[in-house]
DNA sequence: TTATTCAGGATAATCGTTTGCGCAAAATTA
DNA sequence: TAATTTTGCGCAAACGATTATCCTGAATAA
């Protein structure tokens, strides 16, 4: 029923050592004769031998498995990235163990422990929280880590992320070119580095255009709720802005909701621009401009970076 | 550095057998004295002992790992389901190995092989293709399988899915109550069972209301493209319908696009209703009614069903 | 002819757990 | 006191692969 090296060994009268060597492509290296090698290969194929990963990893301490640590798999943005990563590593013979931290630092700790106990060969993570220590320790002492989307400025860990600064700078510039002068930026989690970069992009675009005094940043979370509340406040303020720059898709949805509720419309009463791509934005009335992030490429690249490190030992 | 049973064994002067028994909660069963048990527990905690999954699964042939086979993780619908499943099984001490079939039968085969070679204890799958054989074989002879969203009518495999029939029936009924008589249904993949159920719901609602002659089903794919093209055709036809029932979110997006392009508007010129929930639908102008599927509950339930079977084994 | 070298592969230890079996010493019973 | 049972735990064999080391016979060299 279950084929193992020794079951083949008995049938062929060849030691498991030799069989193992042939099957792992080390026949030449250990000078196994071509005849023997052929015999082994044929028999392994015939009986559909599949090595036991448990035994292999017990022995070698490698699992051909990588851990994917995501803040929220159900978030379309991270779902896209995850999908790209999974496909890429699968195609290289690796398997993905996915852990969902639900954007919670405590849960993240547990997930990390689980991933490590499963002896993943490497980790790709979009970390939550701002403590880089743990990741740095893992990267230095246990297994390679690649961060995606989010990262830490102070840590020596490779990462893949969009050019958040430039994206925000460009988005703001477009609004400026269209004549807007009162542009409010609704930001997300202020501890998030991508958020900081975007905010900086916004600030610099305004400043370089000579409107440094017009900088207005509000909000503090990547949520619909935040976008909604901040927009409500803006609408009821004495000096209404003419444009809103939402730093994420979720924030944008909140903005739209508030504007609609106030009986106002886009783009007549307000111009809106957002970060993050989402197919649905094309179908809004009117379609919402946004700074798209190349999720697919980010995922692929992160996977490649990790796989490269795994190969180079 | 690396704590193992025997490293603890040496330090404590207690056999690995006893330690293993205590740590796996079998102290009573093997009449280990409370003193010894306490000693072991304390030491294990102190040195942060974590058992080696490789060794464990080599010995027990169990991995506390389940395989998640998804057609497309980046599809928000499946992302939601996946997220729910992952959280649930993580909370029960299981780990998820995720494979993305990219909606391709061939890829699916490979993914299955990979999952099985990793000795997953069970599989939760949203299968693609219509061949139930493989899944049935696995379910009967290898590890328990639970299907989610998609399933096979002819196979004895447990599954979790929405009541597609009722959802479609109700959606159609609403349109009828609102006075619509020319309701066209744009369907997805005709081989997909959920699609068939939905189509039947639509047909029966119409028929039972005495409009069996008004049944009109077009289309053949769960894609934006399909929704777009079919709507284009409808708009250019002599006898335009007054309402469109899109059997998926993606189809709906295509419908919206075509309607907008034609300079028509919802709901003045057309009524539209759709299957699948998506947060963005609330932010469309106007918000689009839809038959929401409880992705979170589906995921949780599927996970529960599988975990139960693993325990009663 | 004898000493080396090399081709070709076998042996056995090892990875870290789990678990069937066994075996003392203590407790109980006769 | 002797026989029996119970308590408490250790021994050692798996699980299935990898790999350092060793061995044998033949070919080559001296």
- Span A242-277, pLDDT tens digits: 999 999 999 999 999 999 889 998 888 889 999 998
The reply to whether A55 touches chain B by the CB within 8 Å rule is yes
- Residue A6 host element (H or E): helix A5-12
User: B147: which residues sit within 8 A by CB, 6+ positions away?
Assistant: B124, B125, B126, B127, B135, B157, B158, B159, B160, B161, B302
From first CA to last CA, the distance across chain A in angstroms is: 36
Judge whether B124 and B156 are in contact, CB under 8 Å: no
Neighbours of A11 (CB within 10 A): 11
Please report the pLDDT score of residue A2 as a whole number: 81
Select from A49, A53, A54 the residue whose CB has the most chain B CBs within 10 Å, as the one to mutate to test that interface: A54
**Interatomic CA–C1' length for residue A313 and nucleotide D26, angstroms:** 39
* % of chain A at pLDDT higher than 90: 75
Q: Which pair of tokens denotes residue B142?
A: 């290898």
Rg (CA), chain B: 26
The mean pLDDT of A57-84, rounded to a whole number, is: 93
The reply to whether A118 touches chain B by the CB within 8 Å rule is yes
Q: Do B73 and A86 touch (CB under 8 A)?
A: yes
Choose among A102, A116, A284: nearest Cβ to B283: A284
Label residue A114 by pLDDT band (50, 70, 90). Answer: confident
- Could you say which residues from 153 to 182 on chain A have a Cβ atom under 8 Å away from some Cβ of chain B? none
pLDDT in tens, A98-111: 999 998 999 999 89
> Is it true that the peptide bond before A5 is cis, omega within 30 degrees of 0?
no
Instruction: Kindly list the residues from chain B whose CB atom is less than 8 angstroms away from the CB atom of residue A248.
Output: none
The chain A residue lying nearest B81, using CA atoms, is A74
Please report the pLDDT score of residue B313 as a whole number: 45
Whole-model pTM?
0.86
Choose among B53, B260, B278: nearest Cβ to A280: B278
Q: Which nucleotide is nearest to B60 (CA to C1')?
A: C18
Please report the pLDDT score of residue A256 as a whole number: 92
The reply to whether A57 touches chain B by the CB within 8 Å rule is yes
Identify the top-confidence range among A203-207, A288-292, B255-259. Answer: A203-207
Closest to A79 in 3D by CA, of A308, A298, A307, A305: A298
Judge whether B104 and B128 are in contact, CB under 8 Å: yes
- Residue A123 host element (H or E): strand A122-125
Helices then strands, counting H and E runs in chain A, come out as 12, 10
Q: Which pair of tokens denotes residue A100?
A: 């969902």
**Residue A288: DSSP 8-state:** P
**Interatomic CA–C1' length for residue B6 and nucleotide D12, angstroms:** 14
Please report the pLDDT score of residue B1 as a whole number: 65
**Residues B267-304: b if buried by 16+ CB within 10 A, e if exposed:** eeebbbbbbbbbebbbbbeeebebbebebbebbbbbbb
The mean pLDDT of A115-141, rounded to a whole number, is: 92
Low-confidence ranges of chain B (pLDDT < 70): 1, 312-313
The reply to whether A253 touches chain B by the CB within 8 Å rule is yes
Label residue A1 by pLDDT band (50, 70, 90). Answer: low
């Amino acid at each position: 029923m279950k084929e193992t090296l020794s079951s083949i060994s008995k049938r062929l009268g060849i030691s498991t050592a030799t069989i193992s060597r042939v099957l792992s492509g080390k026949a030449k290296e250990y000078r196994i004769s071509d005849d023997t090698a052929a015999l082994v290969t044929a028999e392994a194929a015939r009986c559909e031998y599949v090595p036991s990963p448990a035994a292999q990893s017990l022995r070698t301490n490698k699992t051909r498995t990588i851990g994917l640590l995501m803040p929220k798999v159900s978030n379309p943005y991270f779902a896209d990235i995850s999908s790209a990563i999974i496909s890429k590593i699968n195609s290289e013979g690796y398997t993905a163990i996915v852990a969902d931290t639900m954007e919670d630092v405590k849960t993240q700790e547990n997930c990390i422990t689980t991933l490590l106990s499963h002896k993943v060969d490497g980790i790709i993570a979009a970390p939550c929280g701002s403590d880089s220590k743990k990741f740095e320790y893992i990267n230095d002492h246990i297994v390679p880590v690649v961060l995606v989307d989010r990262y830490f400025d102070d840590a020596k860990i490779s990462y893949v992320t969009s050019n958040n600064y430039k994206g925000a700078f460009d988005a703001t510039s477009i609004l400026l070119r269209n004549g807007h002068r009162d542009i409010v930026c609704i930001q997300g989690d202020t501890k998030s580095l991508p958020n900081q970069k975007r905010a900086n992009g916004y600030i610099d675009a305004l400043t370089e255009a000579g409107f440094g005094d017009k900088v207005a940043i509000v909000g503090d979370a990547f949520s619909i709720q935040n976008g909604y509340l901040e927009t409500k406040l803006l609408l009821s303020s004495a000096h209404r802005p003419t444009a809103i720059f939402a730093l994420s898709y979720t924030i944008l949805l909140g903005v739209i909701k508030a504007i609609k509720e106030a009986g106002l419309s886009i783009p007549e009463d307000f111009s809106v621009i957002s970060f993050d791509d989402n197919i649905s934005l094309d179908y809004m009335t009117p379609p919402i401009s946004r700074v798209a992030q190349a999720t697919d490429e980010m995922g692929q690249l992160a996977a490649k970076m990790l796989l490269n490190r795994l190969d180079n030992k």
